Every structure is written in structure tokens, then in C-alpha cells.
């Protein structure tokens, strides 16, 4: 006779399944955020993503943005990050916001790459190739963001690059303090950062806004180091 199903045993089974799922990776990754409609395929190797971010592909524009943590939460006691209830509420509502975001981008026919990161607090974002500036601003406004990152491919006498700017969506204009940047940096410089970075498939990278010494740097000036990459494998 089969063992009697108890609540305790059922909970243990569910926990084990969740643990197994969290450790599973495949070439066709479901979105880590909704698991229903859109599939986010983080199937580019880092070398390919590095080429994309640094203007070495045919992609003409890139947006990097998030639907999480809208500005209005900053002044709302319900969403305090140092409060257990507030943090729990943020997590739950951020999951819903990501679901809405992914569905909306799917309707636009856009491809999404999911990235993790830290920007004062942990935050999940998306790299979206071929999103034009007006659309990025519109989406940023819709999801209550202060700004989005937008890059457009340019050609210079030193070669091609993505010209990145920090674009306000809570007000009009470009953030003048961020300046223009032409590189996405990975390797040891990125790995040493504890904040203000993004991570694609386990590889840290950042665009050096607000930092001196990078104003004229181009992709040709980078000396990439082999990163530690979480490579998806076939099931």
C-alpha cells in the first residue's frame, strides 16, 4: 500500500521540485519571471553578447531597461526595502510588472535578453535589441522609471561602436552628468564591482557612465579577458 500522503510530505515534494527547477538550465530558457507566455532565450554566448553590446553586429539600436521598482515606490512606506513586509511586497509586485512587461514587448515583436544586476538595490532588467529611442522613452514612462539606457550604432574613423546615453523618462532630456559612452566593459574591472553592474548568464558587465577616463574609449581599446560564463546546456 502506498505511503499515506501528508501535508508535510507534500511540502517536501514541492520544495524538492523547486530546488531541482532552480538548478536546471537549458538552451531555451523560460523567462525566469513568468513561466507562461514569452520565452526568453539567453542563448547567445558571452562573446556574441559582447559583440552586440559593443557595436560589432548589424544591430542598429539597443535599449537596456527594467519595469521594476518605479520611482513612486521610493516615497511609499509600503515598499521600504529594509522592511520584511515591504521587501516581500516589492518582490511580488515586481514579478507582476515583469510579466506585464514581457507580454507587452512580445506584442511589439521584440527579442528580450534577461539580465540581473545591482543599481543601489538588486534589480532585474532586459537588453532589447532594435528598440528605438522613442519607444524606449515611452516604455520607461509607462513603467514609472527615472531613466533608460539607449545605444545607437555609429561609425567613426576608428571603427563602429554603440553610442550609449542615459535618457530621462521621468522628465525630458539626456542626463548631462552621465555623458556619452561607447563601450560595455567586462572582465576583471566588472568582476570587482559590488554595485552598478549588470550580469548576463553569469558574466558581469557595465557601461561606465558618470566615470572619468572613459569619454573617448572605443571597443578597439578594450582588452577583453575570458569571463566566467554560465553556459546553458541541453537537457
Strand, coil or helix: 143: coil
Specify burial of residue 139 (Cβ count, 10 A radius: 0-12, 13-18, 19+): buried
Query: Which residue is associated with the grid cell 544591430?
Result: 59
**Mean pLDDT of the 69-95 span:** 89
Query: Which residue is associated with the grid cell 519571471?
Result: 33
Binning pLDDT at 50, 70 and 90, where does residue 5 land?
A: very low
How many of the other CB atoms lie within 10 Å of CB of 205?
Answer: 25
150 strand-pairing partners: 63, 165
Nearest to 139 by CA among 92, 102, 176: 102
Specify the pLDDT at position 34: 43
Whether 118 has a pLDDT exceeding 60, the answer reads: yes
Residue 28 CA to residue 98 CA, distance in Å, equals: 19
Please write the tens of the pLDDT for every residue from 33-53: 444 455 687 999 999 999 999
Residue 4 CA to residue 16 CA, distance in Å, equals: 18
Average pLDDT of the chain to the nearest whole number: 84
Which has more confidence, 161 or 3?
Answer: 161
Sheet holding 125-129, edge to edge: 159-168, 147-156, 61-65, 125-129, 113-118, 197-200, 203-206, 185-186
**Mean pLDDT of the 200-205 span:** 96
**Mean pLDDT of the 84-108 span:** 93
Residue 178 CA to residue 187 CA, distance in Å, equals: 22
Whether 13 has a pLDDT exceeding 60, the answer reads: no
Residue 29 CA to residue 201 CA, distance in Å, equals: 11
pLDDT-wise least confident of 45-59, 67-81, 106-120, 155-169: 67-81
Specify the pLDDT at position 160: 95
Whether 226 has a pLDDT exceeding 60, the answer reads: no
Specify the pLDDT at position 231: 57
Q: Are 141 and 161 in contact (CB under 8 A)?
A: no
Residue 43 CA to residue 151 CA, distance in Å, equals: 22
Strand, coil or helix: 22: helix
Specify the pLDDT at position 38: 59
Residue 112 CA to residue 125 CA, distance in Å, equals: 10
Q: How crowded is the C-beta side of 158, counted as CA atoms within 13 Å? A: 10
**Mean pLDDT of the 188-197 span:** 94
Whether 234 has a pLDDT exceeding 70, the answer reads: no
In the chain, where are the structural domains located? 56-221
Binning pLDDT at 50, 70 and 90, where does residue 20 land?
A: very low
Whether 2 has a pLDDT exceeding 60, the answer reads: no
Residues whose CB is less than 8 angstroms from the CB of residue 108 and which lie 6 or more positions away in sequence, other chains included? 135
Binning pLDDT at 50, 70 and 90, where does residue 99 land?
A: very high
Cell numbers given for 105 = 514587448
Specify burial of residue 17 (Cβ count, 10 A radius: 0-12, 13-18, 19+): exposed
Specify the pLDDT at position 217: 96
Amino acid at each position: 500500500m502506498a505511503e499515506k500522503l501528508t501535508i508535510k510530505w507534500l511540502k517536501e515534494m514541492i520544495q524538492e521540485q523547486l530546488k531541482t527547477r532552480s538548478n536546471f538550465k537549458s538552451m531555451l530558457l523560460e523567462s525566469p519571471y513568468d513561466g507562461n507566455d514569452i520565452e526568453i532565450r539567453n542563448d547567445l554566448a558571452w562573446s556574441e553578447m559582447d559583440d552586440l553590446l559593443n557595436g560589432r553586429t548589424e544591430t542598429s539600436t539597443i535599449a537596456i531597461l527594467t519595469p521594476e521598482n518605479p520611482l513612486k515606490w521610493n516615497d511609499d512606506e509600503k515598499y521600504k526595502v529594509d522592511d520584511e513586509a515591504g521587501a516581500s511586497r516589492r518582490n511580488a509586485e515586481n514579478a507582476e510588472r515583469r510579466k506585464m512587461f514581457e507580454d507587452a514587448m512580445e506584442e511589439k515583436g521584440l527579442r528580450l535578453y534577461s539580465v540581473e544586476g545591482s543599481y543601489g538595490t538588486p534589480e532585474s532588467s532586459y537588453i532589447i535589441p532594435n528598440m528605438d529611442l522613442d519607444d524606449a522613452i515611452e516604455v520607461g514612462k509607462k513603467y514609472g522609471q527615472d531613466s533608460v539606457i539607449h545605444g545607437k550604432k555609429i561609425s567613426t574613423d576608428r571603427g563602429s561602436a554603440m553610442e550609449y546615453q542615459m535618457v530621462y523618462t521621468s522628465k525630458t532630456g539626456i542626463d548631462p552628468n552621465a555623458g556619452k559612452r561607447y563601450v560595455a566593459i567586462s572582465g576583471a574591472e566588472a568582476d570587482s564591482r559590488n554595485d552598478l553592474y549588470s550580469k548576463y548568464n553569469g558574466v558581469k558587465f557595465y557601461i561606465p557612465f558618470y566615470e572619468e577616463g572613459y569619454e573617448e574609449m572605443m571597443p578597439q581599446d578594450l582588452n577583453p579577458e575570458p569571463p566566467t560564463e554560465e553556459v546553458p546546456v541541453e537537457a
